[in-house]
Amino acid sequence: MNVMIVYAHPSEDSFTRHVRDSFIMGLESAGHTYVLSDLYKMNFCTDISEAEYFRESNYREDIPLPDDVVAEQNKINSSDAIVFIYPVFWTEAPAKLVGWFDRVWTYGFAYGERSMKQLQKGIVICVAGHSIEHLKEYGHYEAMKIVMLGDRLFDRVKEKRFIVLDGTTKLEMETRDANWRKHLETAFEAGRMLEE
């Protein structure tokens, strides 16, 4: 299976980077191939331009897409699965990833008369400082899941999975340390077991 990984974290010195690397090791151990869009390293432009806004708001497929958007769409259509790996910022993905959706999920590709293929699998792996219990108590877990799986992936992906690696805040190092290995194993297994 060929997998597109969309990764969004501003620091290489992060737990999220270790999660990404563990997921990739799982993919490789199972013989999968992948392409990585590291949005911060790519300096991916996340601000939609006026021309892009005009194209989308008027449903104008005749207005050309920017090259960087076309490149991301080509990666998607060359893949069987898509995986998003990112930290939770204020119950949301980083602005860099939100902007990726704003620009890449274009009219005529992700909606309207779609040219985007329906992917076999979609996995969202997000790293959260809070515990799952906290996120569920305040409705944050369900909100994140609805946005990512219900709106952004929707029927563009046949099988969807939402994984929250919780309790990673540096304010509670004991909990963070206890979760570290468990979460990296979860990421590895998610890559290794992708086709199941």
What are the tens digits of pLDDT across the range 3-20?
999 999 999 999 999 999
Q: Is 68 exposed, middle or buried (0-12, 13-18, 19+ CB in 10 A)?
A: middle
Between helix 15-29 and helix 173-192 the angle, nearest 10°, is 30
Q: What pLDDT is recorded for position 38?
A: 98
Task: Return the structure tokens found at 87.
Answer: 């930290």
Domains of the chain: 2-192 (3.40.50.360)
Instruction: Give 178-187 pLDDT, tens digit per residue.
Output: 888 999 999 9
Q: Is the confidence at residue 173, as pLDDT, over 70? A: no
Q: What is the pLDDT of residue 145?
A: 97
| pTM attached to this predicted model | 0.95
pLDDT tens-digit series, residues 97-155: 999 999 999 999 999 999 999 999 999 999 999 999 999 999 999 999 999 999 999 99
